Amino acid sequence: MRCVATILNRHYLGENAYAFSFDNCLVGDYDEEFDLFIDKNGNEYMPITDMSTLYSEVPQGFANVVKIEDVKKLFPDEKDLTTSDAIAMYNDQCKDISYIVGIGANGTIFTMPINISEIVDGIEGMKQEMVDEAEADKQFMEDMEEGNIPEEYVDLINDIINGKYGLEELKLLRDSLRFGRDNIESVLDTLDLQIEADTMDIPLEEAADEIKAKEKINKESKPKTEKVVVDNRSEYEKRGLMDVEKLYKLITKTLIAQDEPTRRMLVELARMDLKNHKRNGILLTGESGVGKTLLMSLIAKYCDRPFLIVDSTQLTMPGYVGKSIEEYLWDLYESCGKNKEKAEKAIVFFDEIDKKGSSRKDDVSGKGVLNVLLKFLDGTKYEACKNKQHKEPGSYVTLDTSNMKVILGGAFTDVYKNMKAKNGIGFNADVAEESDNKTPSMEDFVTKAMMTDEFMGRVPILIKMNDLDEASIKRILLESDESALKQEEDSFDQLGVKLTVTPEFIDAIAHKAYERKTGARGINAMVTDTTWKPFDEVYSHIGDYEEVILDDETVKDNSNFQLVKKKNN
């Protein structure tokens, strides 16, 4: 659901008490099932009423979700208001609202909105009074510290000791002093003793001894209470494991038509986290543009792990022209803020690894590199460096690859020739025996892609991404929360213009993208190409139009589009 949410910053007030102050109003998507707000940059926010928000390392949460189409309704007196202007006005309206959030004794969360501007006005009105009282208190305390007890208090103490007041009068006197500004400890102590003595009908000195004895007994007999800490983390978080179901739902909102490969990848990565589980590399295959890199980047993002993409076409053995694995690891180290522990938990994606296959024994850019990667896959220590030839202090560090998750990706076109199986997940899958319908075996990658036996032995897990047909491309356009079409709709919306595309437009884009076999990147390029001219027209005459309509003719010629002028123009 496209909406506007108020983002608030968390501040610690005390045990089980927090304040949330206004940060900004953002446009994004609200996931009703998970009660999650995701902004345009993919940042996720939980509601301030969620226990996880109070303990999260990210000190922010959201409140007041309003559908985009409902924002204008908040300002009924404003005519011809654009959505962007309404959002700006809503942002100003929310600036003064903050919240106090606390956890009750029974574990429930309560919230209390507060208006900052009203509080500031109240504080200003009280400021002078507080200053005056503070000055008076300061002078009074200075007199007390110097032994200058005001005469009225000396007389009062003597009157209490001499029995001038009855029991009920003593209690009233104690309450008035305790809750008044002039809280005199010596007077209160005397009052407490005299009340105790009158109650027990004993001399004042005996009452003092009796009180001390009671306090000692109470202190020794009072049971020690331990603070109960409520752990609201999921079972997966407690065990340090991946929540496959949660990740699957998040990723498949962006990566469309790749449900089974996504699920298989998550399951295999989750198994790697288990103790004593054998560490294996994963071979991720599929045509260019089907989403191999996107899948891995989304997993890294939602698992909060560093992500390193290694361009295998540039990867070479040390001493040759190109980039060594040590230099790539240095890039990873720097991207982690030179945090060694963080870098060693990265997800590493060797893209286009199929380009390293070669039948030549002297090909250092091919099989030589595959052999170098064997120890990386097994888990070993590298001396990551900025420059292999010119080592300087601070320009190298030892990194262990044992805890890194290693994925190797490539199209492997030669392997999949004449193989029509779209959902081939795994080596030697149980499929029909016809040659045009089988899933490749490990031997196929050795004989057809010229990968080495030793290398393939380190990557026993094969996951093939689905090919994109026209139906899949349509789904990407209409369903992905990062589709180029949704981005364009948002761009026009910020200008106060509705972007409408016909079903024929979607069909034409899907057909053209399928014919070109350019994958998701090609889809984005086509959408951008068809929308730049109408956007130019609207932007150049801002405020004149309320709708732009694109159809199949726009795909053929981006000058063919319909404009709907505002009724008052």
How many other C-beta atoms can be found within 10 angstroms of the C-beta atom of residue 156? Answer: 20
pLDDT of residue 5: 92
Which residues make beta-bridge pairs with 14?
17
pLDDT of residue 349: 95
**What is the arithmetic mean of pLDDT over 347-368?**
70
**What is the arithmetic mean of pLDDT over 511-534?**
89
pLDDT of residue 283: 95
- For 501, the 3-state DSSP assignment is strand
User: For residue 431, what pLDDT band results from cuts at 50, 70 and 90?
Assistant: very low
Identify the residue whose tokens are 């929308």. Answer: 531
- For 62, the 3-state DSSP assignment is strand
The domains of the chain are located at: 2-118, 149-221, 241-464, 470-565
Give the model confidence (pLDDT) of 300-341 as tens digits.
Answer: 999 999 999 998 888 876 556 678 888 899 999 999 999 999
pLDDT of residue 181: 42
pLDDT of residue 422: 43
Poorest-pLDDT segment among 16-20, 156-160, 161-165, 387-391: 387-391
Closest CA to 504 of 477, 532, 535, 467: 477
User: For residue 528, what pLDDT band results from cuts at 50, 70 and 90?
Assistant: very high
Is 470-565 a domain of CATH 1.10.8.60? yes
- Exposed / middle / buried, residue 288 (Cβ in 10 Å: 0-12, 13-18, 19+): middle
Give the model confidence (pLDDT) of 227-268 as tens digits.
Answer: 555 666 778 887 888 899 999 999 999 999 999 999 999 999
pLDDT of residue 10: 87
Which residues make beta-bridge pairs with 384?
397
Give the model confidence (pLDDT) of 67-119 as tens digits.
Answer: 988 888 888 888 778 888 888 888 888 888 888 888 876 677 878 888 766 66
**What is the arithmetic mean of pLDDT over 446-474?**
90
Which ranges of 448-518 would DSSP assign to H, the alpha helix? Answer: 453-457, 470-479, 484-494, 503-516
Distance CA 263, CA 286 (A): 16
Distance CA 73, CA 79 (A): 11
DSSP 3-state helix, strand, coil percentages of the chain (rounded to 5)? 45, 20, 35
Distance CA 543, CA 548 (A): 13
Average pLDDT along the chain: 80
Residues 197/207, Cβ–Cβ less than 8 Å = yes
Closest CA to 262 of 291, 301, 223, 233: 291
Distance CA 217, CA 361 (A): 89
Radius of gyration of the chain (CA): 35
Angle at 371 between CA 367 and CA 375, to 5 degrees: 160
Most confident region among 241-255, 344-358, 407-421 by mean pLDDT: 241-255
Distance CA 448, CA 519 (A): 24
Give the single-character DSSP code of 227: P
Distance CA 61, CA 49 (A): 9
458/151: higher pLDDT: 458
pLDDT of residue 299: 95
**What is the arithmetic mean of pLDDT over 29-36?**
86
Poorest-pLDDT segment among 244-248, 372-376, 545-549: 372-376
User: For residue 554, what pLDDT band results from cuts at 50, 70 and 90?
Assistant: very high
Strands 461-464 and 36-39: unpaired
The architecture in CATH of the region 241-464 reads 3-Layer(aba) Sandwich (3.40)
Most confident region among 76-80, 132-136, 355-359 by mean pLDDT: 76-80
